[in-house]
Amino acid sequence: MDLSAWVCPLPLRDSPNIVMGHGGGGAMSAELIEHLFLPSFGSAADAELGDSAVFDIGGVRLAFSTDSYVVKPMVFPGGTIGDLAVNGTVNDLAMAGAQPLVMSTAFILEEGTALTDIAGIAKALGRAAHVAGVRLVTGDTKVVDAGHGDGVFINTAGIGIVADGVDINPTRAQVGDVVIVSGDIGVHGVAVMSCREGLEFGTEVRSDCASLNGVVADMIATGVDIHVLRDPTRGGVAATLNEIARASNIGVALVERDLPIPADVRDACGLLGLDPLYVANEGKLIAFVPREDSDRILEAMRGNPLSAGAAVIGECVAEHRGMVVARTALGGNRVVDLPAGEQLPRIC
Amino acid sequence: MDLSAWVCPLPLRDSPNIVMGHGGGGAMSAELIEHLFLPSFGSAADAELGDSAVFDIGGVRLAFSTDSYVVKPMVFPGGTIGDLAVNGTVNDLAMAGAQPLVMSTAFILEEGTALTDIAGIAKALGRAAHVAGVRLVTGDTKVVDAGHGDGVFINTAGIGIVADGVDINPTRAQVGDVVIVSGDIGVHGVAVMSCREGLEFGTEVRSDCASLNGVVADMIATGVDIHVLRDPTRGGVAATLNEIARASNIGVALVERDLPIPADVRDACGLLGLDPLYVANEGKLIAFVPREDSDRILEAMRGNPLSAGAAVIGECVAEHRGMVVARTALGGNRVVDLPAGEQLPRIC
């Protein structure tokens, strides 16, 4: 098969080749899916091909999600690639309103990686699965030659069950919804950057990496009609809100001073020239709920230690549909764009 | 977290580090799962952690499987890594007697990989999914720095549904069963080797890479109580038969002259010093069925072009339990061991 015969329809920006930004969860990632993967997959692929899918099998409503994890370094303050591999996939299922039940684990190991390192990562993975209440039921291991991998890459896929009447998806945001975040933002990204070669800056920030299925269960138990849930990972809160604004065709109006940004995250971002709105989180969620139900949801969230810092950060509006606008501390407005690539790659 | 504090319980053979053989699907792969992954995962993992898992969710019997694909080169005679990524996972589900329904796709792309190459691979993947009748419903893309990946790695996970009354698993082989292979063996491995840098030897062999869910459906439709199905991929027919012999605690007696080995595969293996029994297949299956039903099964298989060459190659015996023994052309017997590592790495 002669691959050179394929014509690539991707808007090429600067390169006919893959660049790091294609993995950032921003505009370039979306282009890769829309203009390369979906047309190439053809009729076999669902048009959304999103973070998770919900469908019926034999009358049961299932959610299904997968992610590969390539975070560098593999061990960082507050977690490891093993914790991430569980929590990231559990959260993708939870954001569809599903109760995660089973998970697969597939390792791509680089020749020469220490067995003790792999055991430590596998132990963290097992512990995270235990905490989240998911069973590891099937797996795979591949080995690649030294210099053609990077220690350990992990893929997990998970299956969850969606209760009757639950319909949580990014197209359901409505004018009048409030936007809630479950706690401090920017923490995971800063924690990983703080120990990356060449970037050490001695912060005490630890990753927020956690499985949020318990938080979501508490929220669903209120009986409130939750419209959208999303975990703001790659691309941060900015990418997540832009995706939802486009998918639901509403405007998102943020209030900058209401964003919960810890002082050390703010300091680190200042040092690195980053905007905390674009920094990855691994244990936070964004919720869109009707304004009249927001107190009940906030009360339920604040009762769970993983979302004790829940706060309203904005609302859905009929203006600037498809866009996110933040009211600044000085009273002005600024557009919060979808990031193109990623400020710092390999964050998850 | 200080990973150096972990004690690794793995029998270390020659190295405290990962070597290529750990990815070969033989004894070293099994040791890695048994002595490293399972103890590290702890109570969160199922004891089998096999190629696929079968379980109930909401009263529906599902099969679930995952594999990562790291084949080198990514394009080989008869297929690409994209075809493999679908067919391998579909076949793992089919070998549990499941009808594969949906699949996830997760790409780990190396910075600098040509977008046209990725589009070609994605197109092959989509076409293979269409042929197999599975829907691509969710996905993920990560990018790693140049020199820390190898073009394209793909993980797929799949979900299938298992019909009532179907119980096909590697522990069900019984004395009196015959062993059937669906066609020529060793073809995929030789095809990949034939175009690998430094190994080109100009064979015309093309990979047998194919989804076998249709073959399995034809076999199940006979109503025969099929005991075991397995696709002899990494480690070849030898590894697969050894696994089944151990899992079912029976002996497997092969008849060497009955093994369907094409002349060009035999020639290539002779040139490379390989035993075709240990060479990977990607479009073949091994079946264990009661002797009295073998004609019905063979008839059904021969009616499907993908298993037209189905043949009996041996039987289950009460002797040498847990072992595979081949009767040679000269009338002697030789033990067909579980391979330690892999004769040639990165074959799938």
- Say what the ipTM of the complex is: 0.95
Q: Range with the lowest mean pLDDT among A46-50, A57-61, B254-258?
A: A46-50
Q: Which of A170, A30, A164 is nearest to A96 (CA)?
A: A170
pLDDT of residue A26 exceeding 80, the answer is: yes
Nearest CA to CA, how far is A289 from chain B (Å)? 25
pLDDT of residue A8 exceeding 80, the answer is: no
Q: And the tokens for B305?
A: 């072009």
* Residue B224 and residue B154 share a domain: no
In whole angstroms, give the CA distance from residue A92 to residue B257.
52
Please state the separation of Cα A307 from the chain's center in Å: 16
Q: Which of A142, A187, A119 is nearest to A348 (CA)?
A: A187
Q: Which of B271, B275, B286 is nearest to B233 (CA)?
A: B286
Of B18, B114, B148, the CB nearest to A150: B148
Of A3, A29, A123, the CB nearest to B116: A3
CB of A11 within 8 Å of a chain B CB? The answer is no
* Residue B122 and residue B264 share a domain: no
Q: And the tokens for B284?
A: 């073949």
Interface of B with A in 306-345 (CB under 8 A): 345
* Residue B185 and residue B328 share a domain: yes
**Residue B72's CATH number:** 3.30.1330.10
Q: And the tokens for A215?
A: 């938080």
pLDDT of residue A151 exceeding 90, the answer is: yes
Q: Chain B interface, mutation test: which of A90, A104, A135, most B Cβ atoms within 10 Å?
A: A104
CB of B136 within 8 Å of a chain A CB? The answer is yes
Cβ-defined contact of A50 to B140 (cutoff 8 Å): no
CA angle at A43 for the pair A97 and B68, rounded to the nearest 5° = 65
In the chain, the amino acid numbered A94 is: A
pLDDT category, A3, cuts 50, 70, 90? very low
CB of A155 within 8 Å of a chain B CB? The answer is yes
CA angle at A172 for the pair A168 and A178, rounded to the nearest 5° = 95
* Residue B145 and residue B197 share a domain: no
Q: Which residues pair with A286 in a beta bridge?
A: A181, A230
For residue A44, the 8-state DSSP code is: G
| A171 domain-assigned | no
Nearest CA in chain A to B110: A18
Q: And the tokens for A166?
A: 């639950």
In whole angstroms, give the CA distance from residue B232 to residue B175.
21
| B258 domain-assigned | yes
Sign of CA dihedral B297, B299, B305, B307: positive
**Residue segments in chain B with a per-residue pLDDT below the cut of 50:** 1-9
Nearest CA in chain A to B132: A44
| B153 domain-assigned | yes
Chain A residues closer than 8 Å to B163 by CB: none
pLDDT tens, residue by residue, A86-142: 999 999 999 999 999 999 999 999 999 999 999 999 999 999 999 999 999 999 999
Identify the three-state secondary structure at position B266.
helix
* Residue B184 and residue B321 share a domain: yes
Of A1, A46, A101, the CB nearest to B137: A46
In whole angstroms, give the CA distance from residue B254 to residue B258.
8
* Residue A72 and residue A18 share a domain: no
In whole angstroms, give the CA distance from residue B138 to residue A52.
6
| B342 domain-assigned | no
| A346 domain-assigned | no
> Looking at residue A10, what is its pLDDT?
52
Chain B residues closer than 8 Å to A126 by CB: 40-45
* Residue B117 and residue B250 share a domain: no
| A340 domain-assigned | no
Cβ-defined contact of B145 to A346 (cutoff 8 Å): yes
E-strand ranges in chain A read 52-57, 60-69, 75-76, 79-80, 98-110, 135-144, 152-162, 177-181, 228-230, 251-255, 286-290, 311-317, 324-327, 333-335
Chain A residues closer than 8 Å to B110 by CB: 18
In whole angstroms, give the CA distance from residue B318 to residue B253.
10
The number of C-beta contacts closer than 8 angstroms across A and B is 357
Q: End of a domain among B166, B186, B201?
A: B166
Of A21, A116, A140, the CB nearest to B66: A140
Q: What is the overall mean pLDDT for chain A?
A: 93
Integer-rounded Cα Rg, in Å, for chain A is: 20
Q: Identify whether the C-beta of residue A345 lies closer than 8 Å to the C-beta of residue A24.
A: yes
Cβ-defined contact of B42 to A130 (cutoff 8 Å): yes
* Residue A322 and residue A206 share a domain: yes
Cβ-defined contact of A125 to B41 (cutoff 8 Å): yes
Identify the three-state secondary structure at position A206.
coil
* Residue B320 and residue B255 share a domain: yes
CB of A66 within 8 Å of a chain B CB? The answer is yes
> Looking at residue A14, what is its pLDDT?
62
Q: End of a domain among B136, B166, B196?
A: B166
* Arithmetic mean of pLDDT, A288-315: 98
Q: Identify whether the C-beta of residue A177 lies closer than 8 Å to the C-beta of residue A162.
A: no
Q: Identify whether the C-beta of residue A139 lies closer than 8 Å to the C-beta of residue B157.
A: no
Domain count, chain A: 3
* Residue A287 and residue A149 share a domain: no
Chain B residues closer than 8 Å to A79 by CB: 1
Cβ-defined contact of A45 to B129 (cutoff 8 Å): yes
Nearest CA to CA, how far is B323 from chain A (Å)? 24
> Looking at residue B211, what is its pLDDT?
98
**Residue A220's CATH number:** 3.90.650.10
H/E run at residue A239: helix A236-248
Cβ-defined contact of B68 to A107 (cutoff 8 Å): yes
Domain with B16 in it? 1-49
Cβ-defined contact of B141 to A50 (cutoff 8 Å): no
| B345 domain-assigned | no
* Residue A318 and residue A187 share a domain: yes
Cβ-defined contact of A106 to B6 (cutoff 8 Å): no
* Residue A95 and residue A10 share a domain: no
In the chain, the amino acid numbered B105 is: T
pLDDT category, A203, cuts 50, 70, 90? confident
Chain B residues closer than 8 Å to A135 by CB: 44-46
> Looking at residue B11, what is its pLDDT?
54
pLDDT category, A1, cuts 50, 70, 90? very low
Q: What is the dihedral of CA A54, A55, A61, A67, to 10 degrees?
A: -40
| A345 domain-assigned | no
> Looking at residue A196, what is its pLDDT?
85
Cβ-defined contact of A114 to B16 (cutoff 8 Å): yes
Chain B residues closer than 8 Å to A137 by CB: 45-46, 49, 53, 55, 64
Q: End of a domain among B166, B188, B204?
A: B166
Cβ-defined contact of A119 to B6 (cutoff 8 Å): yes
